[in-house]
């Protein structure tokens, strides 16, 4: 995810210049406006945002780190297009890792940790209520990463962060019901189990939650848009 404290880019421009490009593209990708496989030309994006190609390149690299963009040598940047097989494999991996992580979080969680998760849920609910589906997907992924951080296992946290980055685009592409971003009751039940320091309940709830997420995906092709990048991104900035 984007680091607000990231260093200035190589041209000396502040990171806030590329964060605008990053956030605009992320919103367009996760909000279904920019279709998978779409080419993201540096010069066109530079003209849209009135920034240099160096600034655009920094944003695209951040998006590639988040698994939302694919960088191909000598070809450029493209919106990632996870396959149905990749989608299933990602959730199978999550189902192996995250129940254990949830159990560890329940063993280690403090009162402050539980309150942190509850505040995060408030942000998720607000995004969904406001119709900001792309933001809700990102917040959902961050919720799962937060649980891994509470578990206190560095390697598990890195694994969850990577898997959730992959999941964000998969969920955004393939959900067939709006609450697939993460049902509020599922996250709330997880927080309650963690707050009660109940590892068994936390693990079982996480397993059930991930099964529900996968069952809520429609692993079929979606119609693509004929709008230009400039039209899409102008809408996101209005």
The arithmetic mean of pLDDT across residues 134-141, rounded, is 85
Residue 69 shares a structural domain with residue 169: no
What end-to-end distance do the CA atoms of the chain give, in Å? Answer: 23
Residue with token string 């240099």: 52
Residue 172 shares a structural domain with residue 184: yes
- pLDDT at site 195: 96
In a domain, 1, yes or no: no
The last residue of one of the domains, among 31, 50, 81, is 81
Residue 211: CB atoms within 10 Å: 12
- pLDDT at site 33: 80
The segment with the largest mean pLDDT, out of 3-7, 13-17, 33-37, 186-190, is: 186-190
- pLDDT at site 11: 42
- pLDDT at site 238: 59
Residue 107 shares a structural domain with residue 199: yes
In a domain, 223, yes or no: no
Residue 63 shares a structural domain with residue 89: no
CATH of the domain at 36: 1.10.10.10
- What is the domain range of residue 191? 84-215
Torsion, Cα 193 215 160 201, to 10 degrees, reads 20
Give the range among 44-58, 80-94, 164-178 with minimum mean pLDDT.
164-178
Using an 8 Å Cβ cutoff, are 137 and 172 in contact? yes
Within the chain, strands assigned E span 69-72, 76-79
Residue 63 shares a structural domain with residue 105: no
Give every CB contact of residue 76 below 8 A, 6+ residues apart in sequence: 39, 40, 41, 42
Residue 64 shares a structural domain with residue 103: no
The pTM of this model reads 0.77
Give the range among 59-73, 149-163, 169-183 with minimum mean pLDDT.
169-183
In a domain, 228, yes or no: no
Residue 124 shares a structural domain with residue 186: yes
CATH of the domain at 99: 1.20.120.530
Residue 58 shares a structural domain with residue 92: no
In total, how many domains does the chain have?
Answer: 2
Residue 33 shares a structural domain with residue 150: no
Residue 88 shares a structural domain with residue 75: no
Radius of gyration for the alpha carbons in the chain, expressed in angstroms and rounded: 18
Question: What pLDDT, in 10s, does the model give residues 61-109?
Answer: 999 998 899 999 989 999 999 888 999 999 999 999 999 999 999 999 9
- pLDDT at site 3: 46
In a domain, 103, yes or no: yes
Given a cut of 80, whether residue 219 has pLDDT beyond it is no
In a domain, 151, yes or no: yes
- pLDDT at site 2: 45
């Amino acid at each position: 995810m984007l680091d607000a404290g990231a260093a200035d880019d190589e041209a000396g421009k502040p990171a806030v210049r590329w964060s605008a490009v990053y956030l605009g593209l992320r919103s367009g990708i996760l909000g279904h406006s920019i279709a998978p496989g779409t080419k993201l030309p540096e010069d066109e994006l530079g003209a849209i945002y009135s920034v240099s190609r160096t600034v655009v390149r920094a944003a695209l690299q951040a998006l590639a780190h988040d698994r939302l963009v694919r960088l191909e040598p000598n070809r450029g940047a493209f919106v990632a297009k996870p396959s149905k097989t990749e989608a299933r494999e990602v959730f199978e991996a999550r189902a192996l890792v995250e129940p254990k992580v949830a159990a560890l979080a329940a063993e280690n969680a403090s009162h402050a940790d539980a309150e942190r998760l509850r505040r995060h849920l408030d942000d998720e609910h607000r995004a969904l209520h406001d119709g900001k589906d792309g933001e809700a997907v990102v917040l959902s992924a961050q919720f799962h990463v937060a649980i891994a951080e509470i578990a206190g296992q560095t390697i598990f946290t890195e694994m969850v962060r990577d898997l959730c980055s992959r999941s964000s685009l998969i969920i955004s592409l393939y959900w067939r019901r709006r609450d697939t971003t993460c049902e509020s009751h599922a996250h709330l039940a997880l927080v309650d189990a963690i707050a009660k320091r109940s590892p068994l309940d936390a693990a079982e709830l996480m397993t059930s939650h991930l099964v529900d997420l996968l069952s809520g995906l429609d692993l079929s092709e979606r119609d693509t848009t004929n709008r230009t990048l400039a039209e899409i991104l102008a809408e996101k900035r209005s």
